Chains A and B, each alone.
Chain A
Amino acid sequence: MQSVIDISVIVPVVERYDDVAELYGLYKKGLEDSGKSHEFIYVLDGDFAGVLEVLKRLIAEGEKIKVIKLARWFGEATALTVGMQHSSGNVILTLPAYQQVEASEIPRLVESLNGCDMVIARRWPRKDSFLNRIQAGAFHILLNPVSEFKFHDIGCGVRVFRKQVAQEVNIYGDQHRFLPILAQKYGFRILEVKALQSKKDTGKRVYSLGTYARRMLDIFSIFFLVKFTKKPLRFFGILGSSLFAVGFLILLYLLFVRLFQGVGLADRPIVLVGTLLVVLGVQIFAIGLLAEIIIFTHAKDIKEYTIDQIIN
């Protein structure tokens, strides 16, 4: 199918959003400067009556905007996926619903896609508050061991990629942040391009404790997803067997002193610690084995490779 549109712009409206009409104007100008034909798709993740109102007004004024409203809150990754399903361009540009990167950088970012499959913007120089910079730094220090490519600003929502990437990489829940990591795992070529940070993106942001906990869980899940999806037993196995080994050594030592030095065991709480570790080790190992059985019995449905090209 030949498409007439070069770039599909997807703007997910999830939590944070700035003045919709103003931002739309900025983005539109940026895209017009790039000289590529484009379409705008706004995906509202839940009930954003105010945003919907503004978008309706813009449409009434003659702007070509596709608006998709999800029935309830599904998460940004789902919003993006739905947007991609409704897009018709060969290149997808995701833009946040708030000012993150100067819109004038859009043409340059789109241009950078030549020769790779995905371009992610890196806000540089950073103008955030010191606190936010520390938060971001810590996040990336934890995150980067997972991927081969060293990301500096994975929280930036400005990304340009080929439609193929969206078709092959499945994301859900909160995984939109990790789309580049997953894409890279599938073998797509990634490029990080420095872009000017928007002046309005510099305010101090402190999140709730729950948000930080969710981020940590995100890192854990992406770590597991990238490293051990195919071989969960390697992950659980090393954890389980080391716990088991520590517990076993404790019990062995206790057995030794009981048998050869006549020290009674019944009144030593360390017996409990040893047993607990052994029990925990066996349980974790068993969970790994279960996970592995699930993978094994479904292995025929899981393709582990991505083919780029077939000759003949």
Chain B
Amino acid sequence: MKDLSIIAPLYNEEESVKPLYEAIVRAVEPLQLDHEILFVDDGSKDGTFRVAGELAELDKRLRVLHFRRNFGQTPAMAAGIDHARGKILITMDGDLQNDPEDIPRFIEKIEEGFDIVCGWREKRQDKLVTRKIPSKIANWLIGRVTGVPIRDNGCSLKAYRKAVIQKIPLYSEMHRFIPAMASIAGSRIAQIPVRHHARKYGKSKYGLSRIYKVLLDLLLIKTLVSFSSRPMLWFGGMSFLSAFGSLTTFAIAIARWNRSEGESLVVLNGTALLLGALAIFLLFAGALGELAYKTGNLKMTTLADIRASFSGFEKPQREE
């Protein structure tokens, strides 16, 4: 078990690999911690893997994982986390936009007793319309829905205790919600400002099309949160709404029973029946959702248990 693992996903970052490696070493070496660096090559098409491999041959503390093809940033982070051997994990971008000089401050915060430390980019060096504004909206929305006001969910530079992050499901693009998920479960989260540099090499790989995905993911998180605290609330509420609509329509139909023609009765009663069917469907869908949640191997509450067991966290052993 090492003290510290630094994880950076790389995708087509041939020019950035070496400067990134050197910057990390420069920042981490003075800390005198037993550390490792994990580069995850996300199926790059350029020479990223070759360059990283050459560096790894000279330095045994550098480990390189090579994906068979491009799987995306979150799977790359998940792979890094799965293979990390440190007690504290630090994730960062592989494109030199994060500054490794900030790492020591993250470790200080973890040593103060926080479980997750999120960076937020103080002076963000990105395009306003396509990057900054959508991310502002997303952060605001995520904060509102989950009740965890994280300033900058999109900043990759974060530090975690391994025991906490390992319990959080990380797939598709869920990395955005790590702090929210962890906080709901009772982890202590700190936020510190970090430096942010404009891209030197390569191109930005993200665009504007993510809003729809973020919204759906957010809905999922919201549903899961409601399952963990008040089961059935979500589906039950919707079901109640349709039942109400159904009964209202039915009441109108009965009130008009004597003075209306056959066709209008069909329309009113038909609507009532449809809404009634929806109410029943949603009730059972809610039950099914609970079943899936209960039998699944992940519960939000297990995260809280870990938090409790970690209250007596020791400081990482420093090498003499």
A251 CB, min distance to chain B CBs, angstroms: 10
| Known contacts A286-B285, A312-B56, A312-B62; A304/B75 CB under 8 A | yes
Task: Assess the A296–B288 pair: CB atoms within 8 A.
Answer: no
Task: Chain A residues near B56: list those with CB within 8 A.
Answer: 311-312
Q: With the chains together, A186 CA to B275 CA distance in Å?
A: 43
Task: Chain A residues near B212: list those with CB within 8 A.
Answer: 234
Task: Assess the B79–A282 pair: CB atoms within 8 A.
Answer: no
Determine if A305 is an interface residue (Cβ-Cβ < 8 Å).
yes
Contact with A along B70-86 (1 / 0, CB 8 A): 01001110110001000
Task: Chain B residues near A289: list those with CB within 8 A.
Answer: 219-220, 223, 285, 289
Determine if B24 is an interface residue (Cβ-Cβ < 8 Å).
no
Q: Which of B113-172 contact A (CB under 8 A)?
A: 167, 169-172
Q: Which of A270-299 contact B (CB under 8 A)?
A: 271-272, 275-276, 279, 282-283, 286-287, 289-290, 292-299
Task: Assess the A282–B282 pair: CB atoms within 8 A.
Answer: yes
| Known contacts A188-B68, A305-B67; A294/B298 CB under 8 A | no
Contact with A along B296-314 (1 / 0, CB 8 A): 1111000000000000000
Q: Which size bracket describes the interface of A in this complex?
A: 35 or more
| Known contacts A187-B67, A187-B68, A312-B62; A305/B75 CB under 8 A | yes
Task: Assess the B224–A311 pair: CB atoms within 8 A.
Answer: no
A115 CB, min distance to chain B CBs, angstroms: 15
B311 CB, min distance to chain A CBs, angstroms: 24
A-B contact count (CB 8 A): 159
Which residue of B has the minimal Cβ distance to A297? B296
Q: With the chains together, A309 CA to B79 CA distance in Å?
A: 12
Q: With the chains together, A177 CA to B103 CA distance in Å?
A: 50
| Known contacts A305-B75, A306-B67, A307-B79; A312/B267 CB under 8 A | no
Q: Which of B183-191, B193-201, B255-263 contacts A (4 or more CB under 8 A)?
A: B255-263
A159 CB, min distance to chain B CBs, angstroms: 19
Task: Chain B residues near A310: list those with CB within 8 A.
Answer: 63-66, 83
Task: Chain A residues near B295: list those with CB within 8 A.
Answer: 297
Task: Assess the A293–B289 pair: CB atoms within 8 A.
Answer: yes
Determine if B205 is an interface residue (Cβ-Cβ < 8 Å).
no
Contact with A along B197-231 (1 / 0, CB 8 A): 00000000000000011001001100110010000
B39 CB, min distance to chain A CBs, angstroms: 9
Task: Chain B residues near A230: list those with CB within 8 A.
Answer: 171-172
Task: Chain A residues near B169: list those with CB within 8 A.
Answer: 296-297, 299-300
Which residue of A has the minimal Cβ distance to B296? A297
Which residue of B has the minimal Cβ distance to A269? B267
Task: Chain B residues near A279: list those with CB within 8 A.
Answer: 242, 274-275, 277-278
Q: Which of A248-286 contact B (CB under 8 A)?
A: 264-269, 271-272, 275-276, 279, 282-283, 286
Contact with A along B19-42 (1 / 0, CB 8 A): 000000000000000000000000
Task: Assess the B71–A293 pair: CB atoms within 8 A.
Answer: no
| Known contacts A267-B267, A271-B271, A302-B171; A292/B220 CB under 8 A | yes
Task: Assess the B220–A296 pair: CB atoms within 8 A.
Answer: yes
Determine if A89 is an interface residue (Cβ-Cβ < 8 Å).
no
| Known contacts A289-B219, A289-B289, A293-B224; A307/B282 CB under 8 A | no
A224 CB, min distance to chain B CBs, angstroms: 15
- In the complex, 17 of the A-B residue pairs with CB atoms within 8 angstroms, ordered by the A residue number, are A230-B172, A267-B264, A272-B267, A275-B274, A276-B274, A282-B238, A283-B281, A286-B281, A289-B223, A293-B289, A296-B220, A298-B296, A299-B174, A306-B69, A308-B68, A310-B64, A311-B64
User: Which residues of B pack against A, CB within 8 Å?
Assistant: 43, 52-53, 56-57, 60-69, 71, 74-76, 78-79, 83, 167, 169-172, 174, 212-213, 216, 219-220, 223-224, 227, 235, 238, 242, 252, 256, 260-261, 263-264, 266-268, 270-271, 274-275, 277-278, 281-282, 285, 288-289, 292-293, 295-299
